Every structure is written in structure tokens, then in C-alpha cells.
């Protein structure tokens, strides 16, 4: 290679670097060994100059040395040109590169350009927690970056946040959870929405990919991960805040077929209360399935129920409207019924798992279920819901209690003792929250009287339950 050729190569390299955007230059500075490339070019220049100098000094090259020098002058720049893209493509982060990478993240945030950052993160997904400092990791979850990725249907932040080592290294992990979950609520294509739609419907023609399912299974529906990052907290806080603002007080107390619609897209999929509820319910389903015994914040369901109930208003013209859906006349009714149905389903499902005793999660379910329906008695005359609604769902609880008694009398051995624990806790739930006591005692009696005695467990055990609750009838059976 001649001096002209070498200078041409150098000129091309400089031109390419000059045309690169600031974000690309920073990426080059992080991963490309620029000093090594410059050294190779300098050595090539020295060899090339030496080839011109030697003849002027009266010396001649040996044939082999002449060949070596020519090859070296040609190969050294080529080696540098090959090394640069290889190192840039691999984009391997190390502890020594933490400072430069932090500056790179800040530049990406400032310029609102994240393509190169995403490429680097994908290349180092498994090693980030081991090579980056906590303050650098924290920058990766800035709300601006999260929002940009979620709007582009890229779930890299949830994928990164599924890494247990990374979670443990992040001191402000709950701030990260807040940034991710708030954005997932807002975007209808997010894994949070996909998980709910795939289970409960509400949006036609939506399909969940295998990749999305795997991500959901290891995060949103993984009780260990879910509770370690408190994924429920920002969802519940946001939902309660939206309710407290009063923005739903009018619309959610009116007939709205679109809210419960199974055709097209139901408006409930843009409701933060519904999204928070069903996200937590899906996690609790998994917790029951794996027989988890941690604190899974079943109380979140009660918090949602209480807040929805506070903003509900019974209007006979709305609730009894012949053109309205008789089961769910308003969105607030739909939400309250969903929560109460979930309590009933969970207790039934938890019990079915081998006839096991209630345990931590079963006891919490009974407590929160009985506490939810006790609200009816404390606000008997406030006009939040119809009397029919109250009688129906107090009756559902009582029916479950009698069904457990029926199972108890049929069972044997250890399973019989386990069922007795369920039965007794259900009864104590009524007593401890004074459902139907005092001035509102009539409500419990009417709820009992309105039960369908055509069902065998109700026909056989309603007098037993009356006695248990001190209403009337037979004394307690052991």
C-alpha cells in the first residue's frame, strides 16, 4: 500500500466517524479499542515511511523483509478496520466501562434516542447486574425510557426486571416497579393487558405470543417475583387515586353496556380499577395453585371493594332500567360483583387443592371476604347499593359456609379436620365482623331466608347455620 492509499483509508475512517451521530460516537468510544486501532495505523505509517527512507540511506531490503513490510503496511489498517466493527457489534459491558456507559445512557435520555441503548442491553441482558453499579442500573429504568419502549411494544424493561440479581442490586426497586406498572396500565398492548384479555376477554382478535406468555409467567403471574417488587402497590394506589378524584362518580353510576361488552373492546380495559383487580387476581390464582403461604396482600381486593363501594350510588331508575343489563347495571356494580365472585372462587379453589386446611392465604381470603360484605351492615341506609345486592352476596357467603358443612359431614380422617377449619373460619368471619348484628340483624336473617332451599346443602344446613349465628334453630354441631 502506498502513502496515498494509507491516507485514503485514514480519511475514510475519519469521515465515517464524523458522520456518526453523537449517540453512535459514544457507543464507539465504549466498545471499540480506539487506542489499539490508532497504534496499528501509526505502525503502518512508520513502516511505510521507513520503506522510503531505507533506499535514501543506501540500503536495500532483503526480498523477505520487503515482502513483510509490504504485507504489514496493507494488513495493519485492515486488522484495525475488522477489529472495530467486531468489538462494536459484540458490545460487551464490563465493570471498567460502567462510567462511560452511564454517560451513554444520559445522552440517550437527553436526545430521546434509544435504539443503540436497546441493542447494547440485549447483548448484555444476563450480565448487567454483575457489571453495572446500582446508580447506573437505576438510570436504565427512567420513566422516559420505559414509556418509549412500551409505546413501541418492546417489553425489555420487564424482561430485565425479572432478573433476581438485578432486583436485589436496585435499591429503589419500588420506584422502578412504579415506572413499569404505570406505563403498562396506560398501553393496551402491554403484557399486563394481554394477560387479562387472554383470561377474561374483553377485546376481540387479541392473541398472546409464546414470548409474551413466557414473560408474563415469570413476572406478573409469578407470586415470588410479583411480591418481591410489590407489583400490586402502584396499581392499587393509582386505581384508588383515580376513584378518589371523583372522575368516575357520574359515568360509573350509569348504565354502560360497553363496559362489560365481550364484543369489540370493552371500556373496562381502560379502567385502572379493573386492571389492578384482575392483575392481582391472576397472581393470587397462581399462588393458590402452588400452595404459597406468604402474605400475598389479599387485602388489596378489600381496599378496591371498599373504595368502589364508597363511590357507588343506588339509583332505582338506573338499577331497575329494563333496557340495562340486569346483572351489571353500572360499572361500579360490575366491579363490586367481580371482587365478591373472586373471593368465592378463591375459597372454593383453595379448598379443592387436595382438601388442605386454609393456611395463610385461605385465612386471609375468608377474612377479607367477610370484611367486604360487612360493609353492607355498617352502611345499611346509605343507598350505595340495592338491598337485593346486599342479600345476594351475604347469601353467597352463607351458602359457601353451608356447603363446607355438607362436605364436612361426608368427609373422613384428615380431610374432615381440614374442612372443619374452613367451616369454622367462615362462621367466625360473620361473627368477628358483626355481619347482621345490632340494628342490622334483620339483614342477615333476610339474606338467609332468601337463599334457594332447592339446593340440598342449603335445605339441610340452614338451621344449623342459624344456630351458629345465634339467630334461631339448632345448637352447634361438632
pLDDT above 70 covers a percentage of the chain that reads 85
423: pLDDT strictly greater than 80: yes
Within a 10 A sphere around the Cβ of 138, how many other Cβ atoms? 19
Looking at the structure, do residues 57 and 77 belong to the same domain, yes or no? yes
For residues 147 and 125, what is the distance between their CA atoms, to the nearest angstrom? 19
Looking at the structure, do residues 83 and 99 belong to the same domain, yes or no? no
CA–CA distances in Å: residue 127 to residues 130, 171, 398: 5, 18, 54
Looking at the structure, do residues 84 and 98 belong to the same domain, yes or no? no
Are 98 and 131 in contact by the 8 Å Cβ rule? The answer is: yes
Q: For residue 448, what are the contacts with CB-CB under 8 A and spacing of at least 6?
A: 395, 398, 462, 465, 466, 471
12: pLDDT strictly greater than 60: yes
CA–CA distances in Å: residue 224 to residues 60, 282, 294: 76, 13, 9
Looking at the structure, do residues 166 and 119 belong to the same domain, yes or no? yes
Q: Could you report the per-residue pLDDT of 314-342, keeping only the tens digit for each?
A: 999 999 998 888 899 999 999 999 999 99
176: pLDDT strictly greater than 90: yes
For residues 257 and 200, what is the distance between their CA atoms, to the nearest angstrom? 16
Q: What is the pLDDT of residue 476?
A: 44
**Residue 378 host element (H or E):** helix 359-378
For residues 105 and 258, what is the distance between their CA atoms, to the nearest angstrom? 43
Looking at the structure, do residues 162 and 134 belong to the same domain, yes or no? yes
Q: Could you report the per-residue pLDDT of 51-101, keeping only the tens digit for each?
A: 666 666 555 655 556 566 666 766 777 777 788 888 889 999 999 999 999
Single residue among 90, 113, 139 that ends a domain in this structure: 90
Q: Tell me how many domains the chain contains.
A: 2
The answer as to whether 20 is a domain residue is: yes
> What is the 3-state composition of the chain as percent helix, strand, coil, each rounded to the nearest 5?
70, 0, 30
Q: What is the pLDDT of residue 235?
A: 97
44: pLDDT strictly greater than 60: yes
Higher pLDDT, 284 or 263: 284
The answer as to whether 441 is a domain residue is: no
Strands (E), 336-478: none
Looking at the structure, do residues 101 and 85 belong to the same domain, yes or no? no
Determine if residue 72 is left, alpha or beta; phi over 0 gives left, psi from -120 to 50 gives alpha, anything else beta: alpha
CA–CA distances in Å: residue 271 to residues 130, 220, 251, 252: 39, 18, 12, 10
Higher pLDDT, 437 or 5: 5
For residues 336 and 375, what is the distance between their CA atoms, to the nearest angstrom? 12
Place of cell 345490632: 438
Looking at the structure, do residues 134 and 148 belong to the same domain, yes or no? yes
The answer as to whether 37 is a domain residue is: yes
| DSSP-H helix ranges across 91-200 | 98-111, 115-123, 128-131, 134-139, 143-151, 156-160, 164-169, 173-186, 191-200
| DSSP-H helix ranges across 32-127 | 34-56, 63-90, 98-111, 115-123
Boundaries of domain holding 29: 3-90
Are 436 and 430 in contact by the 8 Å Cβ rule? The answer is: yes
State whether residue 265 is helix, strand or coil: strand
Single residue among 123, 142, 172 that ends a domain in this structure: 172
CA-CA-CA-CA torsion sign (157, 161, 165, 167) = positive
Single residue among 172, 194, 221 that ends a domain in this structure: 172
For residues 457 and 478, what is the distance between their CA atoms, to the nearest angstrom? 17
35: pLDDT strictly greater than 90: no
Q: Could you report the per-residue pLDDT of 223-249, keeping only the tens digit for each?
A: 999 999 999 999 999 999 999 999 999
Higher pLDDT, 138 or 47: 138
DSSP 294: S
Are 50 and 11 in contact by the 8 Å Cβ rule? The answer is: no
Q: Could you report the per-residue pLDDT of 268-308, keeping only the tens digit for each?
A: 999 999 999 999 999 999 999 888 888 999 999 999 999 99
Confidence band of 25 (pLDDT split at 50, 70, 90): confident
Burial 76-92 (b: 16+ CB within 10 A, else e): bbeebeeebeebbeebe
DSSP assignment of 389-437: HHHHHHHHHHHHHHHHHHHHHH--HHHHHHHHHHHHHHHHHHHHTTTT-
Are 278 and 194 in contact by the 8 Å Cβ rule? The answer is: no
Looking at the structure, do residues 86 and 98 belong to the same domain, yes or no? no
The answer as to whether 247 is a domain residue is: no
Q: What is the pLDDT of residue 21?
A: 65
- Residue 415 cell numbers, joined: 380431610
The answer as to whether 167 is a domain residue is: yes
The answer as to whether 448 is a domain residue is: no
Query: CB burial class (10 A; 0-12, 13-18, 19+) of residue 140?
Result: buried
- Residue 117 cell numbers, joined: 441503548
Q: What is the pLDDT of residue 357?
A: 84
Are 256 and 197 in contact by the 8 Å Cβ rule? The answer is: no
- Residue 471 cell numbers, joined: 339467630
Are 138 and 170 in contact by the 8 Å Cβ rule? The answer is: yes
Looking at the structure, do residues 75 and 112 belong to the same domain, yes or no? no
The answer as to whether 48 is a domain residue is: yes
The answer as to whether 296 is a domain residue is: no
Any bridge partners for residue 203, and if so which? 265
Confidence band of 473 (pLDDT split at 50, 70, 90): very low
Q: Could you report the per-residue pLDDT of 377-402, keeping only the tens digit for each?
A: 776 557 899 989 999 999 999 999 99
pTM: 0.86
Amino acid at each position: 500500500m502506498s502513502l496515498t492509499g494509507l491516507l485514503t483509508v485514514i480519511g475514510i475512517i475519519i469521515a465515517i466517524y464524523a458522520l456518526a451521530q453523537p449517540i453512535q460516537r459514544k457507543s464507539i468510544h465504549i466498545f471499540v479499542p480506539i487506542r489499539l486501532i490508532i497504534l496499528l495505523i501509526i505502525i503502518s505509517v512508520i513502516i511505510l515511511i521507513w520503506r522510503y527512507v531505507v533506499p535514501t540511506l543506501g540500503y536495500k531490503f532483503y526480498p523477505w523483509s520487503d515482502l513483510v513490510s509490504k504485507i504489514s503496511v496493507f494488513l495493519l489498517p485492515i486488522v484495525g478496520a475488522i477489529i472495530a466493527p467486531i468489538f462494536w457489534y459484540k458490545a460487551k459491558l464490563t465493570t471498567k466501562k460502567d462510567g462511560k456507559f452511564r454517560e451513554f445512557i444520559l445522552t440517550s435520555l437527553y436526545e430521546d434516542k434509544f435504539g443503540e441503548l436497546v441493542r447494547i442491553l440485549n447483548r448484555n441482558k444476563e450480565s448487567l447486574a454483575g457489571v453495572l453499579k446500582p446508580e447506573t442500573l437505576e438510570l436504565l429504568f427512567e420513566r422516559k425510557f420505559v414509556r418509549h419502549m412500551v409505546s413501541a411494544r418492546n417489553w425489555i424493561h420487564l424482561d430485565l426486571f425479572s432478573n433476581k440479581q438485578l432486583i436485589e442490586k436496585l435499591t429503589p426497586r419500588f420506584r422502578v416497579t412504579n415506572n413499569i406498572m404505570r406505563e403498562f396500565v396506560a398501553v393496551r398492548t402491554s403484557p399486563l393487558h394481554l394477560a387479562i384479555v387472554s383470561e377474561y376477554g374483553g377485546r376481540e382478535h387479541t392473541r398472546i405470543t409464546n414470548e409474551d406468555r413466557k414473560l408474563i409467567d415469570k413476572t406478573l403471574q409469578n407470586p415470588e417475583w410479583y411480591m418481591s417488587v410489590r407489583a400490586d402497590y402502584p396499581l392499587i394506589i393509582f386505581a384508588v387515586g383515580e376513584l378518589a378524584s371523583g372522575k368516575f362518580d357520574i359515568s360509573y353510576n350509569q348504565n354502560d353496556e360497553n363496559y362489560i361488552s365481550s364484543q369489540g373492546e370493552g371500556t373496562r380495559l381502560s379502567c385502572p380499577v379493573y386492571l389492578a383487580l384482575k392483575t392481582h387476581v391472576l397472581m393470587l390464582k397462581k399462588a393458590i395453585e402452588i400452595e404459597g403461604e406468604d402474605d400475598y396482600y389479599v387485602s388489596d381486593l378489600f381496599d378496591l371493594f371498599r373504595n368502589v363501594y364508597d363511590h357507588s350510588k343506588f339509583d332505582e331508575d338506573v338499577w331497575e332500567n329494563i333496557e340495562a343489563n340486569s346483572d351489571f347495571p353500572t360499572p361500579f356494580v360490575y366491579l363490586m360483583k367481580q371482587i365478591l365472585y373472586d373471593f368465592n372462587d378463591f375459597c372454593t379453589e383453595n379448598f379443592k387443592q387436595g382438601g388442605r386446611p386454609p393456611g395463610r392465604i385461605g385465612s386471609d381470603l375468608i377474612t377479607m371476604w367477610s370484611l367486604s360484605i360487612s360493609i353492607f351492615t355498617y352502611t345499611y341506609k346509605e343507598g350505595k347499593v340495592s338491598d337485593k345486592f346486599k342479600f345476594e352476596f351475604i347469601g353467597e357467603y352463607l351458602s359457601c359456609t353451608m356447603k363446607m358443612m355438607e362436605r364436612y359431614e361426608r368427609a373422613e380422617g384428615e380431610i374432615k379436620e381440614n374442612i372443619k377449619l374452613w367451616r369454622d373460619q367462615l362462621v367466625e368471619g360473620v361473627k368477628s365482623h358483626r355481619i347482621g348484628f345490632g340494628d342490622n340483624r334483620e339483614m342477615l336473617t333476610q339474606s338467609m331466608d332468601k337463599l334457594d332451599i332447592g339446593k340440598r346443602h342449603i335445605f339441610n344446613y340452614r338451621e344449623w347455620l342459624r344456630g351458629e349465628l345465634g339467630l334461631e334453630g339448632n345448637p352447634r354441631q361438632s
